[in-house]
Amino acid sequence: MNENLLKKIKWSARISGSIIFILFLPFYLGYGIPLPNSSMSFIENIWFIIFPLVLIGLIIGWKKEKVAGFLIIIPTILGSLLSLIFWRDPIIIMYIPLIPAILYLIYVYNKK
């Protein structure tokens, strides 16, 4: 890939990651930074553990794209698999952060 396209991919990932972070953070903080507890279902507790990892990954992407890509993708896939096993229904909105994560990894594995 040429340098200009890679630069666009990197900045698309950064901008989309920042927008997603800004939109997702109030939802997480709106719950009062919840800790896993017994009043929520197992899968809700799992997503409340995964959610901050995804948010941290979106921020880390500004400096360490490879780490950010995997920090977003791995927990999201794990949470989706657990949702399918225990809830029989994936949480589609959690796939949105995969967009910058995939862009970060495309950038990292194609730069010279």
Taking 80 as the threshold, does the pLDDT of residue 15 lie above it? yes
The string of pLDDT tens digits covering residues 97-106 is: 999 999 999 9
What pLDDT sits at residue 36? Answer: 61
Taking 70 as the threshold, does the pLDDT of residue 1 lie above it? yes
87 phi/psi in degrees, rounded to 5: -120, -15
Domain ranges of the chain: 3-31+40-110
Nearest to 44 by CA among 2, 86, 99, 5: 86
What pLDDT sits at residue 107? Answer: 96
CA dist 112 → 36, 37, 38, 83, 104 (Å): 43, 46, 49, 38, 14
